[in-house]
Structure 1
């Protein structure tokens, strides 16, 4: 099918994310994905709220969203657009695996009330593997960054 003829999905709401990803509360770390450009790039959105389970232990008196969960949010965002890409080809994968994380840096703490935007850009794609560079941003500030890879398993 020519590129122009393919239906374009510019965003994915929570209902679509629940179809795409196996994650569920409390471990689904993306609320919505916008600005989807095939599997090339997108922006995942996470609304951080104090009533999330993680804040009962990290840290109740000074709540900070864990950096490792920012990386997981990046991976979930990238994984969702990989699945969308393969699904549009008529080959939906039955599993997606987070494979690597490289060059991770944590710049500023994320706290309840922040809206985190996971800006993901494809670096490479080969067979069933994708590599992405991600930046987690709150407003205009980069709070974390990393390169992540995922592998899709087809049936």
Structure 2
């Protein structure tokens, strides 16, 4: 008689960050804050940023008036903001304010347009980290389909330092 034994799997503690936590972590503000919520936070390893794309966002006035499409560079910025949030939400609480700087972007690809009404998900996963520098791989998705992908690098610095 064959008996299959399944190993007990510990559920992973997944965290979330609402807009208040994001605003406390990132210096960005509307109209350049491109993440509304972060879900599925797994420590400093990965998270999913959520952006509700709405027709009243200022970039749609000129990109394009009769056919609104979210600019690809803003999708990449939303991915970078999600990665930056992962860095800053997991920093030690030593009381010293920190900023995160977008350093590099590699292997960026755009696959499908993002339009008003879409819910954009930025799936970001840490590739590596060394001292105050972090590298992430990400996919932006709408309805489970990849609309963009890239690798981004970020650096954490004390506020006031360059």
- Structure 2 CA distance, aligned partners of 1:138 and 1:9? 21
Q: 8 Å contact 1:93–1:152 — kept in the other structure?
A: no
Shift of 1:99: 0.2
Work out whether residues 91 and 154 of structure 1, in 8 Å CA contact, stay in contact via their aligned partners in 2. no
Pair 122,93 (structure 1): closer, same or farther in 2 beyond 3 Å: farther
Equivalent pair of 2:68/2:116 in contact (CA under 8 Å): yes
Q: Under a length normalisation based on structure 2, what TM-score does the superposition of the two structures give?
A: 0.87
Question: What residue ranges of structure 2 are gaps of 5+ in the alignment?
Answer: 1-12
Alignment of 1:122 with 2:126, yes or no, is yes
For 2:54 and 2:39, locate their aligned partners in 1 and report how far apart those are by CA, in whole Å.
20
**Which residue of the partner structure matches residue 64 of structure 1?**
69
| TM norm structure 1 | 0.91
- Aligned counterpart, 1:109: 113
Query: Equivalent residues in 2 for 1:19-34 (5 A)?
Result: 19-34=24-39
Aligned-residue RMSD, C-alpha: 1.4
State the distance in 1 between where 2:95 and 2:136 align.
21
With over 3 angstroms needed to count, the CA separation of the structure-2 counterparts of 1:75 and 1:120, relative to structure 1, is same
* Counterparts of 1:152 and 1:129, CA distance in 2: 7
How many residue pairs match? The answer is: 147
* Structure 2 counterparts to residues 38-57 of structure 1, below 5 A: 38-57=43-62
2:78 aligns with 73
Larger Rg: 2
> What are the Cα deviations for residues 31-83 of structure 1, in whole angstroms up to 9, with x where unaligned?
00000001100000000000000100100100000000000000000001100
**Higher helix content, 1 or 2:** 1
